[in-house]
Amino acid sequence: MDDMARKPLPTLRLRRLAAELRSLRSAASLSREAVEERTGITGTTLYRLETAKVRPQRRTLNSLLDLYNVTDAKAREDLHALSRKSGDPEWLQSYQSELTEQYMTYIAFEQEAREVRNFESLFVPGLLQTEAYATAVIAGVLPTATPEEVANRVRVRLQRQRLLEQQEPLRLWAVVDEAAFRRTVGGSAVMADQLRTLAERAALPHVSVQVIPFNAGAHPGMPGSFSVLSFADSADPDIVYTDSMSGDLFTDSPPAVRRHMLTFAHLQSVAVSPADSIQLLNRLVDELE
C-alpha cells in the first residue's frame, strides 16, 4: 500500500496519531510482522506510520483499526480526524521548495505550541523581528540567496509572528544575550527601530524578554541558541529545537528536555528582569539615535 507518495511534516497531530497506532498495536499484542501478514501493510510502512514519518491513507487506517478491533464509531472518527488534520499549515505549503524540511517542521510544531521558551545569543528572536531587521539578517546569513528568496523567507517570518496576535496568543519567553542587540544589523536606523519595537512587544502580557548583560560574564547559553516548545495537552511531550551550521535537531527525549529546561532556568536567573530589560533596550535605542 502506497502511503509514501508525499512525505508530510511530523506535525503534533501526526505524532499523536502515531502514538495511538503504537498503543493500539501493543494492546492487541501484535508484532509488526504479524500486522503485515494479516493486512498486507509492509513492516517498513507500519514503522513509518508509528513514528510519524508518513500519514496513513484512509483505507490503510481502516485496515489497522479493523485489525486492532476498534469498533467504537466515535473512536474511529477521532483517529480519522487526526489523520485529516495532520497536514502542514496551509500557508506554509507554497514555500516548500525554498525552506528546509527541518525549518518547516519547526514552524509546524510552533503553530500548535502553547508556549515557546527561546534563548538567542546572536539574533533577535524570529518571532520579534521587524521586517527590515529580518531582511538584513537573512541576507547576511544567506549571502548566496537571491532577493526573491530573501523576501520569501521574510514573509514566512512575519507570518509566524501572527501567533502572537491571535485571540489565544502564543506565550513567548525569550532570553537574549546583549550581544544580539549590540550587533548593528541593517544600520543604525534599522537596529534602533528593531530595539524600539522589541521593547514595545516585550510589554505585552504574553511576551517576556530578558537580556543577559555583558557584565554577567560566562553563562550556560554560550554554546548556542535553542527553543523549548510546550503544548496544551499534557500528553504531548515538550520538544527541544536547536539550529546550527551542522543542521537542525529536534528531540523530545526527557533527559534532553530536562537539561534544556534547567539551562533556560539558569539563563533566566543570570539575565536582568523583564522590566529592567525593557529599560536596557530603550537605553540602547538612545545610543543608536
The CATH number of residue 117's host domain is 3.30.870
Claim to verify: residue 59 and residue 135 sit in the same structural domain: no
Residue 2 confidence (pLDDT) above 60? no
Contact 196, 285 (CB under 8 A): yes
Claim to verify: residue 182 and residue 97 sit in the same structural domain: yes
Claim to verify: residue 74 and residue 140 sit in the same structural domain: no
Q: How many CB atoms lie within 10 A of CB 79?
A: 21
* Residue 7 included in any domain: no
Q: Which value, to the nearest 10 degrees, does the dihedral of the CA atoms of residues 201, 202, 204, 206 take?
A: 110
Claim to verify: residue 178 and residue 262 sit in the same structural domain: yes
Claim to verify: residue 245 and residue 125 sit in the same structural domain: yes
Claim to verify: residue 153 and residue 74 sit in the same structural domain: no
Claim to verify: residue 101 and residue 22 sit in the same structural domain: no
pLDDT in tens, 167-202: 999 999 999 999 999 999 999 999 999 999 999 999
Residue 169 to residues 54, 91, 177, 277, Cα–Cα distance (Å): 29, 18, 25, 22
- Counting residues of the chain whose pLDDT is more than 90, the rounded percentage is 69
Claim to verify: residue 104 and residue 234 sit in the same structural domain: yes
Residue 212 confidence (pLDDT) above 50? yes
The model's pTM is 0.79
Identify the residue with better confidence: 57 or 158.
158
Residue 247 confidence (pLDDT) above 90? no
Q: How many CB atoms lie within 10 A of CB 172?
A: 24
Mean of pLDDT values over 12-23: 84
Going by pLDDT thresholds of 50, 70 and 90, the confidence category of residue 140 is: very high
With b for 16 or more beta-carbon neighbours within 10 A and e for fewer, the 104-128 pattern comes to bbbbbbbbbbeebbbbbbebbbbbb
* CATH of residue 22: 1.10.260.40
- Picking from 5, 239, 6, the residue whose alpha carbon sits closest to that of residue 105 is 239
Kindly state the greatest CA–CA separation across the chain.
Answer: 72
* Residue 135 included in any domain: yes
* Residue 6 included in any domain: no
Split into its structural domains, the chain has a count of 2
Claim to verify: residue 147 and residue 46 sit in the same structural domain: no
pLDDT of residue 251: 86
Residue 1 confidence (pLDDT) above 60? no
Enclosing domain of residue 136: 90-288
Instruction: Give the residues across from 228 on adjacent strands.
Output: 117, 240
Claim to verify: residue 58 and residue 144 sit in the same structural domain: no
Claim to verify: residue 108 and residue 70 sit in the same structural domain: no
Claim to verify: residue 20 and residue 127 sit in the same structural domain: no
Q: Which of 66, 84, 102 is the last residue of a domain?
A: 84
205 is written with which cell numbers? 502580557
* Residue 5 included in any domain: no
Q: Which of 29, 51, 84 is the last residue of a domain?
A: 84
Backbone angles phi, psi at 179, to 5 degrees: -55, -35
